[in-house]
Each structure stands twice: as C-alpha cells, then as structure tokens.
Amino acid sequence: MKLQFWGVRGSIPSVVNGDIIRSKIKKVLSCASAGDILDDQSIEQYLDSLPPSLISTYGGNTTCLEIRSKNNDLIIVDAGTGIRSLGNSILSEGFGTGKGKGHILFTHTHWDHIHGIPFFVPLYIHGNIFDFHSIHQNLEKRLAYQHSKHHFPIPFEGLKATKRYHEHKEEEKWEICGIQISQKSVKHPGGSYSFSFEEDGKKLIFCTDAEFNPQTIDRSIESYLDYFRNADILIFDTQYTLAEQIQKIDWGHSSASIATDIALKSNARKLILFHHDPSYTDEMLDQVFLRAVQYKSVFDSQKKSNLEILVAQEGMNLQL
C-alpha cells in the first residue's frame, strides 16, 4: 500500500495568511548566518536544516487520505477539503475522460469529512465510477443534503459519475482491490468508525475523530488493543493537548499523549499524529510532536519499542 495525505486538519480548514508567512520569513532570516546564503547550494542546505514549521506548513485542508493498492487501485478515506486537490491530481489517470474507478470510505459524515465532495471534479464527469462505503445508514441521503439548494448551487444529481453505495456492518470483514478491511466504532458525537487495511501482511489503521480520554482509557482501551495491535502505521486523532482534552471531555477527540500510549501498548511501528486542531500554528504542531516524543521516552525508558512518531503533513507519502 501507498499513502498520501491530502487533508490533515479537523473541524474546519485552516488558512495560512500573509501575517503567518511574514512571521516565518522573519524567523528564517533571523536564524541565518552569512555562510547560509552564499549561493543557491548553501541556501538549499540551510533550508533543509530548518523544521517544516518554518519553511513550509503542515497544511490547512480537512481530512482526506489517498490509499493505493499494490495494483495502484484508488481508495480514498473521507472527503474533507483535501479531496479537491486529490481530484485534480487524478484527472490525467482517466478520471478526466470518464474512465476512472475508485472507492471512497467515510468514517462519519460530519461536514469536515464530506464538505470537499462538491469540489471533487471526477464526480462531475460521466463515465467515472465511485463506490461509496460507510457503516452509517442513509449515506446517499446525508451527502445529498449537503447539495440542498440552501447549501450549494449544484444539486447532488449534477454529479454525473456513477455512484454505488455499500453499507457495511461493524463486525463485517470485507475486501476491495485485494485489501482486507475491517472497522471498529470509536467514541465521537454522532458516531465514528476506525478502519483497518491489510495487504500482503502489512497493516494500516486509520483512527480519526476518536476520543480516548484520561478518565476512561484504563477501562476502555482493552477492547481495542487487539484491533490496533502490530499496526505498521497507526494514523490517530490528536486534535487536543492532554490539558485541553481534560477540559473537553465528550468532544470526541484525543491527544498526542494518549495516542502515543496506545501505540506503545499495541506495539505499533509508526504513529502518525493527525486531525490537527484548526487553531494550531505550525510551531504549535512542532511542540505537539516534541511532547509525544518526550512521552514515549518516559514510558519507554528501556527503549523496548521501535515506535516512530510523525506529524501528518499535506503531501506526505508513506509506503507499507
């Protein structure tokens, strides 16, 4: 499997404005020495030495993950605003001429996970085929509601691609494109589901919009450990800091500390911090990462785990 992140924010898109760009430039210049800007090569080396928060951004689009099977079949998880750029990127693969086929899975239908659908160009092109998968009932009705004339000028019927709907049960195990899929409900207002993908002995867990909080984790995590166990990649909701999560019980999200704890207990190999709060700057996300690494060092002081921790960033590619 190959993965690409197209949207990594939660709740609402987060825009990088001019003031933020100016602040980044100021910090980059203030850190530079004369030797860092002698020529193009030294400039590139200097920029490569800086953290992503200074020279780039983790991204502002809402949730969307692209998965490719070993045969390059397309699977999309959630349709936040990140799906717009994804759609534009695949037009050259046959989706621009009505010859494309893909699958879209929905963890749930809160707007930050579906509001990219109206801007996903391949859905407007006759001949393309998309299989929509959900554990929630009435998915077509939920998506069509977003296209009500009160919300959007183009009706849902204006999406001319063939749309086929599949409603799965929580305990069901199913397969698409040679990838084995299962799902498990997680605590979130209105309900949400985590997905497990397995191909050729490699395991990916996508667990966003999931609340495991400090008050309940000791008794709630046991029923999930087998599900998470030995994941090669665990993508996990870390919208809040631990302090914020304590203040926002029942809001439906987790923290980097909780995610790290779960990754250690389930022997995950790579943890991806995901579903970033829209109010967090790139510098704050650097701090979230550092706190997760520090948490790991405290609770894995003997270094028994090989867990690697990363922060999800738009455009990031991973391969299992």
pLDDT score for 218? 64
pLDDT score for 274? 97
Q: Which stretches of the chain drop beneath a pLDDT of 70?
A: 214-219
pLDDT score for 246? 72
Q: Which of 3, 1, 2 is nearest to 274 (CA)?
A: 3
CA distance 255 to 273: 9
Helices (H), the chain: 18-31, 40-48, 52-55, 82-89, 139-146, 217-220, 222-228, 242-247, 256-265, 282-299
CA distance 21 to 57: 10
pLDDT score for 281? 94
Asked whether 129 and 164 are in contact (CB, 8 A), the reply is yes
Q: How many helices (H) and strands (E) does the chain have?
A: 10, 14
pTM, two decimals, is: 0.94
| Domains along the chain with CATH numbers | 2-13+58-319 (3.60.15.10)
